[in-house]
Chains A and B, each alone.
Chain A
Amino acid sequence: QKEVEQDPGPLSVPEGAIVSLNCTYSNSAFQYFMWYRQYSRKGPELLMYTYSSGNKEDGRFTAQVDKSSKYISLFIRDSQPSDSATYLCAMSARETSGSRLTFGEGTQLTVNP
């Protein structure tokens, strides 16, 4: 069983829709949660970071962490065609950079004009 599970999609939505992306994990040691966005033929880029449980909002993006359920979410409001990309959740157990990032498989999102 993978440590991090993420539905690969593909997910296709109309412009303006609310998008919900999710990951579940099995390692209770994970405390640091990130979402990376990867455009086609590019490397992933950090989109959101959250520590422990709770919500974090940044513009049209909201990240949620529920440690009791081992479940994290990324919501995109008023989705735009430029949001079309693969979204990867990532997690680590330690605060220092010595901890590897464990990634989900990534969800491929297409926002149609």
Chain B
Amino acid sequence: GAGVSQSPSNKVTEKGKDVELRCDPISGHTALYWYRQSLGQGLEFLIYFQGNSAPDKSGLPSDRFSAERTGGSVSTLTIQRTQQEDSAVYLCASRPQGATARTEAFFGQGTRLTVV
């Protein structure tokens, strides 16, 4: 596709259930980021993948959160035993190989997660 694709667009889940959020980055982009956006918090960094390197997981808020990236392309963010405070918009972004700080991070439209 032409841009970063995220699915689903919206997800309502019951407290305690597990959810999987999917990100399909721009073809050929080696860097992939997950951010969480909630009221009063702005964009909160969660995890970063760069090629075959070990991911930077330092932003994951708890061990209920995990992410993987298969084949250097599609990424899945999994939240186990969801809590109401997990309600937020989850954004994925990608950058091409060799990107520098000036290179735009291309964001998807996000998945709006609501935990009830």
Residues of A within 8 A of B (CB): 4, 6, 8, 31-32, 41-46, 49, 51, 88, 90, 92, 94-106
Contact between A43 and B93, CB atoms less than 8 A apart: yes
Contact between B102 and A32, CB atoms less than 8 A apart: yes
Q: How far is the CA of A90 from the CA of B102 in the complex (A)?
A: 11
1/0 per position for B35-76, CB-CB distance to A under 8 A?
A: 100001111110010100000100100000000000000000
Q: Kindly count the residue-residue contacts between A and B in the assembled complex, taking CB atoms under 8 Å apart.
A: 71
1/0 per position for B83-107, CB-CB distance to A under 8 A?
A: 0000000010101001111111111
Residues from chain B with Cβ under 8 Å of A90 in the complex: 43
Residues from chain A with Cβ under 8 Å of B109 in the complex: 41-43
B26 contacts partner chain A, Cβ-Cβ < 8 Å: no
Q: How far is the CA of A85 from the CA of B18 in the complex (A)?
A: 33
Contact between B41 and A101, CB atoms less than 8 A apart: no
